[in-house]
Amino acid sequence: MSPRDARPEEPAAAVGSVEVVQSVEPETAAPAAPARPGTHFHISRRKQGDPKPHFQNFEIEVEPGATVLDALLQIRRRHDPSLVVRHSCMHAACGTCGVRINGREALACDTKLATLPTHKPIKVEPLANQRPVADLATDMVDFYARLDAAAMPLLRASETAGGATPPENIKAFARFENCIECGLCLSACPIARTNHDYIGPAALAAAARVVEEPRRHDLGPVLALAAEPDSVWRCRDAIECTAVCPSSVDPARALLTLRRHVAANGARRFLARR
| Binding residue for another protein, selected from 8, 51, 81, 220, defined by CB under 8 A | 81
Whether 18 contacts 44, CB under 8 Å: yes
HEC string of the chain equals CCHHHHCCCCCCCCCCCCCCCECCCHHHCCCCCCCCCEEEEEEEECCCCCCCCEEEEEEEECCCCCEHHHHHHHHHHHCCCCCCCCCCCCCCCCCCCEEEECCEEEEHHHCEHHHCCCCCCEEEECCCCCEEEECCEEECHHHHHHHHHCCHHHHHHHHCCCCCCCHHHHHHHCCCCCCCCCCHHHHHCHHHHHCCCCCCHHHHHHHHHHHHCCCCCCCHHHHHHHCCCCCHHHCCCCCHHHHHCCCCCCHHHHHHHHHHHHHHHHHHHHHHHC
Q: How many CB atoms lie within 10 A of CB 80?
A: 13
| Binding residue for another protein, selected from 175, 216, 236, 274, defined by CB under 8 A | 175
**Residue 47 Cβ, how far from another protein at the closest point, in Å?**
4
Residues 89-118 that bind another protein (CB under 8 A): 89-94, 96, 109-110
| Binding residue for another protein, selected from 1, 32, 33, 174, defined by CB under 8 A | 174
Cα(28)–Cα(256) distance, integer angstroms: 48
Residues 233-262 that bind another protein (CB under 8 A): 247-248
Q: How many CB atoms lie within 10 A of CB 260?
A: 12
**Residue 196 Cβ, how far from another protein at the closest point, in Å?**
5
| Binding residue for another protein, selected from 40, 86, 100, 104, defined by CB under 8 A | 86
| Binding residue for another protein, selected from 42, 104, 146, 193, defined by CB under 8 A | 146
**Residue 162 Cβ, how far from another protein at the closest point, in Å?**
9
**How many residues touch another protein (CB under 8 A)?**
72
Q: Which is nearer to another protein, 120 or 131 (CB)?
A: 131
Cα(50)–Cα(46) distance, integer angstroms: 6
**Residue 97 Cβ, how far from another protein at the closest point, in Å?**
9
**Residue 39 Cβ, how far from another protein at the closest point, in Å?**
18
151 binds another protein (CB under 8 A): no
Show the binding pattern over residues 181-220: x = contacts another protein (CB under 8 A), - = does not. Answer: x--------------xxxx---------------------
Q: Which is nearer to another protein, 90 or 256 (CB)?
A: 90
| Binding residue for another protein, selected from 29, 30, 141, 272, defined by CB under 8 A | 141
133 binds another protein (CB under 8 A): yes
| Binding residue for another protein, selected from 68, 128, 150, 191, defined by CB under 8 A | 150
Q: Which is nearer to another protein, 192 or 241 (CB)?
A: 192
